[in-house]
Amino acid sequence: MPFQKLKPKVEDILQNKEASVDKRLTEVCELLETSIPYYDWVGFYFKNGDKEELKLRSFAGEPTDHEIIPFGRGICGQVAVSNKNFVVPDVKAQNNYIACSIHVKAEIVIPLFLNGENIGQIDIDSHSEDPFSHEDELFLEWVNKKVAEIL
């Protein structure tokens, strides 16, 4: 499904004030994971209080053992420090990659900002090689801006 068609669906989910924030985040993860063929795992990690680590809050896809990720470790941990998008076309080429599944071939992580502070990120794993484009980055930046509005 093209990104433009997903935007109103993401907005509808996030604007549903009858559902908890966690439920809405999970629904966004599920929408993206089921609508985009190369999004095989979608999750939101957030800074874990005052600790220098990320904590998994909501996801869609296979369960992961990586519910806590220290800053600087793996792709997610690096984004927590760099505050920059990180697109990994081939996870095997990354020496600081934390393997979540033997099937993952590529990953994209986009930081989520609230009032200018990096408070979390959306993380997407793909079982396809090099599937992510600039359009994915722009769409996921937009998703994060919409999520920030409900936090």
pLDDT tens per residue across span 25-58: 999 999 999 999 999 999 999 999 999 999 999 9
Residues 126 and 148: their CA atoms lie apart, in Å, by: 24
Q: What integer is the mean pLDDT of 12-35?
A: 98
Distance CA(35)–CA(51), nearest Å, equals 34
**Total number of domains in the chain:** 1
Per-residue pLDDT for 1 more than 60?
no
Q: What CATH number is associated with residue 53? A: 3.30.450.40
pLDDT of residue 102: 74
Give the SS3 label for residue 91: helix
- Name the helix (H) or strand (E) containing 98: none
Task: Give ∠ CA 98-144-59 in degrees, rounded to 5.
Answer: 50
pLDDT of residue 2: 85
Please compute the mean of the pLDDT values over residues 1-23 and round it to a whole number: 95
The residue range of the domain holding 54 is 3-148
Compute the average pLDDT of residues 101-112. 91
